[in-house]
């Protein structure tokens, strides 16, 4: 005779859906993926500047509207600097 916990476990193993391993917290998962990416870049002889540029580009591209938002912030900063230098009046 099968005990109830064992019976439940064997019934669960007969389901068509596989049991998934628990996911790592996002920080650990991101850390693992970045470590793998960095190792691959080192193996391929890619310098740190190109690695950082590729990582930043991937991050910005994954967030819709972020590139435009950053460009707008940069433009606002440039206009403020021009105004402070007295090369453009304020409205």
Domain-wise residue ranges, the chain: 27-86
User: Using CA of residue 63, residue 66, residue 68, residue 71, what is the dihedral sign?
Assistant: negative
DSSP 11: H
Confidence band, pLDDT 50/70/90 cuts, at residue 91: low
Q: For position 72, what pLDDT does the model report?
A: 96
45-67: average pLDDT: 94
| 0.75 exceeded by pTM | no
What tens digit of pLDDT does each residue of 2-48 get?
445 544 444 455 556 778 777 879 899 999 999 999 999 999 999 99
d(CA 81, CA 15): 65
């Amino acid at each position: 005779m099968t005990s109830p916990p064992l019976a439940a476990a064997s019934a669960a193993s007969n389901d068509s859906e596989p049991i998934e391993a628990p996911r790592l917290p996002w920080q650990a998962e991101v850390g693992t993926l970045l470590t793998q990416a960095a190792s691959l870049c080192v193996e391929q002889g890619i310098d740190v500047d190109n690695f950082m540029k590729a990582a930043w580009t991937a991050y910005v591209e994954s967030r819709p509207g972020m590139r435009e938002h950053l460009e707008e912030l940069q433009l606002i900063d440039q206009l403020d600097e021009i105004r402070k230098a007295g090369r453009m009046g304020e409205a």
